Structures are given as structure tokens and as C-alpha cells.
Amino acid sequence: MTSGSCLCGAVGFVVTGPMRPVIACHCTQCRKSSGHHVAATSAHRDQIAVTGEVTWFQSSDTARRGFCGTCGSNLFWDGEGENLSIFAGAIDGPTGLKIAGHIFCADKGDYYDLPEDLPRSAGYDPALTTRVVG
């Protein structure tokens, strides 16, 4: 079981199933919403329990972003499919997870470099983003 929350504690979550390795997303929307790139894991929706009120922003035709309406912490990315993405920085304590790859690298900021030793995709990569280990 893994738990997490926003900065002020108004929104919390518990994940009871396995989580995907962390994927770093460098798309323009992730960079603008977070101030940098986003590092997120994911889990099956039916294995995530959320407490408190998540504020949702419809960021595209196919996805929305969930955050705390009080402190503004970015918590979730919700797109099509059976998984809900969870921002790794919102997880409490050690996760045991590692970054397994980078997506939307064509959109990355020019002020940082990516490591050479992990898979990269210029855009969306379902092989990286939809798998769950466990």
C-alpha cells in the first residue's frame, strides 16, 4: 500500500495495487503546469482511493489534470485508459520506483539535458506509459 497527498494535506490518496515505473514527460503542458517536466507513475483506477476534493482542469480533448484547489499541488493526470497517473513527488516516503524513460522529448526545455541510458520518445509512447509492473 502506498499513500500520498498534496502539500497542505487537503487531498490524499492510497494506492493498493502495483504502480508503473516513473516516466518523465517533457510535453509543453506538463512543463507549463509544473514549472519543469513531470515525473509520474500510474496504477489501475480501481486501486486508487482519493480523499478530499480534487480540482480538475481539462487540459486537452483527451486529458485532464487534478490538483489541490487549496495549495495548488499537482497530483494526477487523467487520460484515456484504465490507469490514473500519479505525480511521483506527491507520494509519501520511499517508493521503490525508478525513472524508466522519457516521453515528449521533442518538447523538452533547452535548459536541461536528458540521460543517455534510458528510453526516450519524441512524443507519446504507449509501451512506456501503459505498463504496470506487479
pTM over 0.85: yes
Is there a domain that residue 43 lies in? yes
Burial of 127 (0-12, 13-18, 19+ CB in 10 A): exposed
Query: How many domains, in total, are found in the chain?
Result: 1
CATH number, domain with residue 93: 2.170.150.70
More confident residue, 79 or 71: 71
pLDDT digits (tens, 9 = 90+) for 99-119: 999 999 999 999 999 999 999
Would you place residue 126 in the very low, low, confident or very high pLDDT band (cuts 50, 70, 90)?
Answer: confident
Is there a domain that residue 125 lies in? yes
Is there a domain that residue 104 lies in? yes
Residue 131 reports pLDDT greater than 80: no
pLDDT digits (tens, 9 = 90+) for 8-44: 999 999 999 999 999 999 999 999 999 999 999 999 9
Dist. CA 21–CA 11, nearest whole Å: 23
Domain range spanning residue 85? 2-129
Is there a domain that residue 120 lies in? yes
